[in-house]
Every structure is written in structure tokens, then in C-alpha cells.
Amino acid sequence: MIVRFLVTLPLLLLSLAAHELAHGVTADRLGDPTPRLAGRLTANPLRHLDVMGTLVLVATFVSQAGIFFGWAKPIPVDPRRFADPQRGMLLVGLAGPLANVVLAAVAAGLVWVTLDVSLMIAEALALVFLLNVLLALINLVPVPPLDGSRVLGGFLPRSWYPAWIALDRYGTWVLLALLVLLITRPEVFEATLGRALDFAFETFLPA
């Protein structure tokens, strides 16, 4: 397990960094220089790591509890720089999960390529596939401050939008509640995200 951990951890950290980098690049393209000025438009995972999010990733991985995840340091974004803040945040929010979907697709392809070369490498890539699918699914849950709330907010009536984004102040508690729910009530995970993950494995990875 130690060897697998040492092989897999860098790939998982890169997955978290790619998620945040996608947010930053999208914001920069839409006219907000905040991520670039903060030095976050880089693929260097050290620039994106969140200490607590990394510790949670390591702890859940080592625990072998059946689920593992973590998070990176959020990209700073100033919606006022966008021509249309509501639409801009929709695109920024969608960019992170889409990056994870792309990485999951690449990881799945590499699993097929490496399966006959090294089982350990194939298993590590399968875990990268798992994490990226899981990151995309969790972040698309439409509750603040997850990316899904930005996507949903982009379709709300403009008069509702200020009240919706004001809910971000409770974001830390939402993430904590989600973490506790997934760990303490595994049946909830199995009935929702678990089924989606099973479908992804059965569809895209070798048996």
C-alpha cells in the first residue's frame, strides 16, 4: 500500500491542481486578471495545495474506508471583472469539473495501455480515474460553495442571484457536513455517488 500511495499521490495532487488551474485560466480568459496576479496560472501543484485538503486526501486514502477525496486552495476570482458576472461565474464553475472529466478520460485510456505492462501502474491510474470522476461529481452538486452552485446560479433569474451567492458564507459548514455525511452514512454515498462511480468503472475500465 505504501508503494501504491507513493505512486498515486503525486497524480492525485496534480488532479486537484488541474481543477483549480482550469478555474483560473477560464477567469483570466473572461477578463479577470486576479488568478494571474496571484500567481495561480501554473500547473505546479505546490501553488494550489491546501494544507487541510491535502491532509484529508492522505488520511482518507490511507484509511481505505472505500472513499477518498481532498481539495486544493480555491482560485481567487473577482466576478466584477466579467462583462456578465453571472454568466462568467457559470463558466468558471463549470471549467473545474470539466478538467476532471478530461483527466478521467485520459487516465482511463492509460489504464488500458498499461494493464499488460504493469498492474501497479494500471491500478494507480484507475485511482486517478476514480478521484477525477469523484471530484467532478461532488463539485457539480448544486450547493454553495461547490462549482455546481455557480452553474445553477447562471440559470437563475438575475434578481435571485445576489441572494444565492450570499449563501457562500456558509460554505465551510456545507463542506464539513458533506464530508461527515459521506463518511458516517456510507449507504448515502453508495446510493448516489457510488452508483455513478460503479457505472463509470464498468463502462470505461477493464473488468
From residue 207, alpha-carbon distances to 4, 73, 100, 127, 200 in Å are 20, 35, 22, 14, 12
Residue 157 main-chain phi, psi, to 5 deg: -55, 140
Can you tell me the distance from the alpha carbon of 77 to that of 27, in angstroms, rounded to the nearest whole number? Answer: 7
Q: Is 103 helix (H, G, I), strand (E, B) or coil?
A: helix
Residue 190 CB coordination number (10 Å)? 14
The H-or-E segment that residue 149 falls in is helix 147-153
Q: Is 187 among the residues known to form the active site?
A: no
- Among the listed residues 20, 123, 187, 202, the single catalytic one is 20
Which distant-in-sequence residues (6+ apart) come within 8 Å of 34 by Cβ?
A: 27, 76, 77, 78, 81
Residue 39 CB burial class (10 angstroms; 0-12, 13-18, ≥19): exposed
Q: Cα-Cα-Cα-Cα dihedral of 51, 52, 58, 64, to 10°? A: -170
- Known catalytic residues? 20
